[in-house]
Each structure stands twice: as C-alpha cells, then as structure tokens.
Amino acid sequence: MSPRVVLVGPMGAGKTTVAGLLGAAWGVPVRDTDADIEAGTGREISDIFVESGEDHFRELEAAAVSAAIAEHDGVLALGGGAVLRPETRELLTDQTVVFLRVGLSDAVKRVGLGVGRPLLLGNVRSRIKALLDERTPVYESVATHVVETDDRTPDEVAAEIRELL
C-alpha cells in the first residue's frame, strides 16, 4: 500500500487544504504527518519544539512519515521540514510527490503571524525567506511534479493536480 500522492512544500503552500480537497474529490482518506504527531504524542507541535527541541520533533516526524507511507493509500501531506532528513527523502523516491511551490509574499500572507509555527517566531518574513532559499532545491529534488500556488486558490491547485495525475 502506498499513498496516491504525497504533497511537499513550505509552510503556507497550502498542503493541508489542498490535501483535503483532493481527498474529497477522489473519495480517499487524507493524512497529515503534523496531525499524526500531535495525535500520537498528545502534544502540540509548538510545545514539542519548545520543550523537547527541534531534533526530537524531527525524530518523531521521520517515524510519522515512514508509518504513513507504509500504511496509507490516500492523500498524504508532509510537514514543511519533513524532507530535510535523507532517510525521509529516500522513502519518497518511488512515490508520486507533488511540490506545492509558493513565493515569499504569498507564503507570508498565508501563515499570517505564524501562530503555532515555532520556526517562525521572530521576524516571519525573514524566517520564511531563509527557509524557502534553503529548502526549495530539496523539494525540487524529491518532486515528480511541481505545481505553482502563488495567486491561486486551493481549488485551482487541487484541480491542476487532478489533471496531472
């Protein structure tokens, strides 16, 4: 069993929203690794970062991605940093992976003040810029498809993915 599609991309790309739309359109279940981690630990992502550190969160995330890829056959949305670990990227090599690309301005608008996103504490715009610069080549390296999300609604993005796949 493996996911019909795995959505990757930065915070503010719309992964969770687009995953919900695809799941509804295809009539398949949707899974989200952030939600899996929160359900599995009974803790919020922000609390895990602050109390236990990012490295611990990444361990939990790698395990959540691995379990979801093995068990899930619907739409899977990964947290924005899930592709940072080489062993996680390795799990994606034989999957259909859509990178939801987003530019700085749209990402900043969509995350708002960054509430609930510990990596954005401080200056949201400069933090998002640093993350986009660092991670865009990584998302491109794992993606089988790239879909632009700037100036587009989640419905338009989901429709393009349905045409592609």
- Alpha carbon distance 131, 159 (integer Å): 27
Which token pair is 115?
């509430």
Distance CA 45, CA 52 (A): 10
- Asked if residue 9 lies in contact with residue 15, where contact means CB atoms within 8 angstroms, the answer is yes
Which of these ranges, 91-99, 100-108, 115-123, 147-155, lies near ligand S3P under the rule CB under 6 A? 115-123
Calpha distance 6→147 (Å, rounded)? 13
CA distance 14 to 7: 9
User: Which residue, 34 or 106, has its beta carbon nearer to ligand S3P?
Assistant: 34
Q: According to CB under 6 A, which residues from 16 to 55 bind ligand S3P?
A: 16, 34, 45
16 is in an annotated binding site: yes
Where does this chain touch ligand S3P (CB under 6 A) — which range of 65-73, 78-86, 96-104, 144-152? 78-86
Check the annotation: does 4 bind a ligand: no
Please give the DSSP secondary-structure letter assigned to residue 151: T
- Which of 15, 72, 101, 127 binds ligand S3P (CB under 6 A)? It is 15
Cβ closest to ligand S3P, residue 61 vs residue 74: 61
Question: Which amino acid type is present at position 127?
Answer: R
The answer to whether 162 is a known ligand-binding residue is no
Interface residue list for ligand S3P (CB under 6 A): 11, 15-16, 34, 45, 79-81, 117-119
